[in-house]
Structure formats: C-alpha cells, structure tokens
Amino acid sequence: MSANPEATSEKSSGGALLRVSSDKIGRLMDLVGELSLSVSETVNSPDLAGLDLVGFDAAAHRLSMIVREVQDAATELRLVPVGEVFRRLKRMIRELERETGKIIDLDIVGADTAIDKLVADKLYDPLLHVVRNSADHGLEPPDERVANGKSKKGMIRLAAQQVGSEVRIQVIDDGRGLNREKILKIARKRGFFGEREEPEPERLWKVIFEPGFSTAEKVSTLSGRGVGMDVLNTTMTDLRGRIAVDSEENNGTTVSLHIPVSLAFLDSILLRLGKQLFTVPVDDVAEIVKPGMSDLVGVSASKGTEMLKLRGSFIPVLRLEKFYGAKTTNLTPLVDMVCIVFQTTRGAIAVPVDEVLDRQQVVMKPLVGSLAKVRASWGCALLASGEVAIVLDCERLASGEER
C-alpha cells in the first residue's frame, strides 16, 4: 500500500504537484479493484442470508458508497490535462515557423480536457505528424495567402473536448485544404479506388492515412515521407480511437481524433456464450436482435454460412465458436440465441450469443503471455463480480483477421 499516501497527498494539497510512478498508481488501482471485490463479496455473503441485520446493512451501504468514491478518486489519478501534450506541440510549431518561413498563429482550445496519462503519452507523436502536415502542406506561404485574400498569418488550432466517453482532439488549419484531384489520382494509382469511382470526400480523405501514401512531390525534412500518417493510424488503433478528416478547398483541413477518455475503463455490454463471457464496447453495438425462424437463411452452398434478415437486408452471421475454432459439434440453433449486430467498415455482421447479461463499466487489462494470441480482442475485462470477460473487437472479427 505504499502508493497510498503519495497518491492522496497529491489530491489534498491542491495546486502542488507530485510525481508518482505509474506503476504505483497501477498498483493502487489493482488494490482498489480488489477492495471493491472483497467488499461486495462480504456484503453479499450467502452466510448473511435470512438474517435481520439493520445496523450491518446501514454500515455495509456506507462502506459500498465509500469504496465507489475511492474508485473514482483512483481513476482520476491517471487523468492529466491534454494541455501538456499541446504545450509540447507549441514548441514544435515555433520550430516549424523558422523552418518553413510561414507565420503561424497557434490557438489552443480546451487544454484542461482530462485524458488518461497512458493515452496522453501516446498522443504526442501522431499529433506531431498531423501538425507538421498542416504547417508544411496545409498552410500556404504568406505571399500566397495574401494573394488568395487571406490574412498573412496562418492559423493552426488545437482543440480538445470531451464528447460522451470520448475525447475529441482536432487539428484545424485554415490553409489550402486537401487537393481532391491529386489525392484521387494517387489513390487510384495505388488501387484504393477504381478508375471511374468517385468516392465520397470522407472516404477519399481517409486514404491519406494508408501506409506510404504521400502526395508531396518533394520529401522535405518536415513531412512527405508518407510515414507520418501511418504512425497516426497505428497509434489510433492501439488507443481504440477513430480518425476523421474534413477539408474544404482553400479553407483548410480539420483532422479529428476520437479517443476514449480512459483505456482502463470501458462502457460495455456483457454477453454470455456457453461458459464464456464476452464484452463489447457499447458504442460498437448497432442493434440487438432476437431472430425469428423466418429471419434466418442457411447457405449450405457456402460452408453452411448463416444469414440474418434484418429489415430487408441480409447480414452474415459470425459464430464465435467457429471463429475461434472450438471443437463444438452441436451449435445452438440461432432461433434460441440473441444476435448482436455490429456495424463495421466491412459492413454489418451479426454475432449470436446465448444471453445478453448487463451493461457495465469494466476494468480493461491487456492480454499478455499465452493470452496474447487470442484473436479479435482488445484485452480482457474485469467485471464487478470478479469474473473475467474477453473484450471483442468487432472490426477484427469482421475482417476474420488471424492476429
């Protein structure tokens, strides 16, 4: 319990800051999790059944309340203002000004938005690449800006805001915007789109995150090697985040990163399949359907693939038993199951489970050692009951990816 005094003094001393190793905080979090488990075990002990314990019940209630508060306080320890990351970028932008000869106004919004320290640490590199791209490719040199009727100074805005359980971080510039023709030409050459295909802007902009994609004719020291956006992509996958790009010719580009506030906690729906427990992030679930006999189609011609008919369209059914190669001979008929419909980038999939148990805030843990090979999983989740569930990544389920 050595982490305790240090951790609490940080809170009570208000303004004064204290450096605490993340290991200690991790240990504290583990202990707090254990504490809340033991408390719930004690309070709900079967030995107490049928006893009339007025005083005990009141005390147990108080205890549970305190434990919940301790849990919240411990969680907060890991949160840092995103402004720390922005400050480091500010220095970088001054350097970029010198190198590019552009004048850049940096605007920071929402610097006090709280984010998990682990996330914050991983955010600098990808953000750096986005900012570099804005400064190098997005913003025009002063004379070009004046010629286009813009102010001499270019603007880059770093904005952070909490939206639900996510933090949205935006890098906004008022530069020349993304060049649709140029990007489309390269995207077609690389085979992302067909020769005649005219993709939606949203879909087109996303290709700039593909590995090795760069439209810059010249590789500068700043950007154009096509590796930056790739770094962004990888990091965002690690952080369970999403990227969105919006751009308007001559009006600038906005790159938005949506990241969960905490990697440690996950708002999830708990599912049971046979003896196994799974959870999925609430946001991933599009719909939960109890299929009727007439909603199901079996396609024996295609290895017994099953399809779920939902409002006129057919959704492939993905059985977790098959996906994980379990040696089950009798699969439960789909009519006795509940289908979770996920909307993925490869289209919708329906995953049947025996039961939808609960919606729960769970503690996430990475899968290490011999568990690291479990496919299509973000990690495992510790439930309030002390049980362990596998957190499903529906994107990787849909892609049937090996790892």
Partner 1 sequence: MTAQVAAETAVDTRMSMDEGVVDAESIDSMYLTFAVGEEDYGMSIGMVTEIVGMQRIMVVPDVPDYIKGVINLRGKVIPLMDVRLRFGMNERPYDDRTVVIVLEVNDAPMGLIVDRVREVIDIPDGNIDAASGFGSGDGRSVVSGLGRVDERVVILLDVPLLVSDMDVIAPKLAKA
Residues that bind partner 1 (CB under 8 A): 29-31, 33-34, 37, 274-277, 320, 324-326, 363, 365, 368-375, 377, 380, 382, 386-390
Distance of alpha carbon 86 from the chain centroid:
20
Q: Give the C-alpha distances (Å, rounded to integers) separating 18 from 72, 113, 211.
A: 19, 20, 40
Q: Residue 116 or residue 136: which is nearer to partner 1 going by CB?
A: 116
| φ, ψ for residue 21, nearest 5 deg | -70, 145
- Under a CB-based contact definition with an 8 Å cutoff, are residues 115 and 84 in contact? no
For tokens 């270019």, the residue is 154
Q: Say how many CA atoms lie within 13 Å of 361 toward its Cβ.
A: 10
Report in angstroms how near the CB of residue 32 gets to partner 1 at its nearest: 9
- Under a CB-based contact definition with an 8 Å cutoff, are residues 141 and 227 in contact? no
**What is the rounded radius of gyration, in angstroms, for the C-alpha atoms of the chain?**
25
Query: What residues contact 203, with CB distance under 8 A and at least 6 apart?
Result: none
Report in angstroms how near the CB of residue 389 gets to partner 1 at its nearest: 8
Q: Residue 221 or residue 370: which is nearer to partner 1 going by CB?
A: 370
Q: Residue 70 or residue 184: which is nearer to partner 1 going by CB?
A: 70
Q: Residue 43 or residue 111: which is nearer to partner 1 going by CB?
A: 43
Q: Residue 172 or residue 380: which is nearer to partner 1 going by CB?
A: 380
Distance (Å, rounded) from C-alpha 163 to C-alpha 131?
A: 22
Q: Residue 182 or residue 373: which is nearer to partner 1 going by CB?
A: 373
Q: Residue 183 or residue 362: which is nearer to partner 1 going by CB?
A: 362
Report in angstroms how near the CB of residue 393 gets to partner 1 at its nearest: 13
Q: Residue 239 or residue 320: which is nearer to partner 1 going by CB?
A: 320
Cα first-last separation, the chain: 37
Report in angstroms how near the CB of residue 403 gets to partner 1 at its nearest: 11
Give which of 371, 235, 401, 400 is closest to 390, Cα–Cα.
371
User: Strand 104-109 relative to strand 154-163: parallel, antiparallel, unpaired?
Assistant: parallel
Report in angstroms how near the CB of residue 321 gets to partner 1 at its nearest: 8
Within 10 Å of residue 344's Cβ, how many Cβ atoms? 16
Answer left, alpha or beta for residue 212, where phi above 0 means left and psi between -120 and 50 means alpha: left
Query: What residues contact 260, with CB distance under 8 A and at least 6 apart?
Result: 119, 165, 166, 167, 239, 240, 241, 266
Q: Residue 187 or residue 277: which is nearer to partner 1 going by CB?
A: 277
Report in angstroms how near the CB of residue 220 gets to partner 1 at its nearest: 40
Distance (Å, rounded) from C-alpha 71 to C-alpha 2?
A: 17
Report in angstroms how near the CB of residue 98 gets to partner 1 at its nearest: 43
DSSP class of residue 353 equals E
Report in angstroms how near the CB of residue 387 gets to partner 1 at its nearest: 6
Report in angstroms how near the CB of residue 45 gets to partner 1 at its nearest: 12
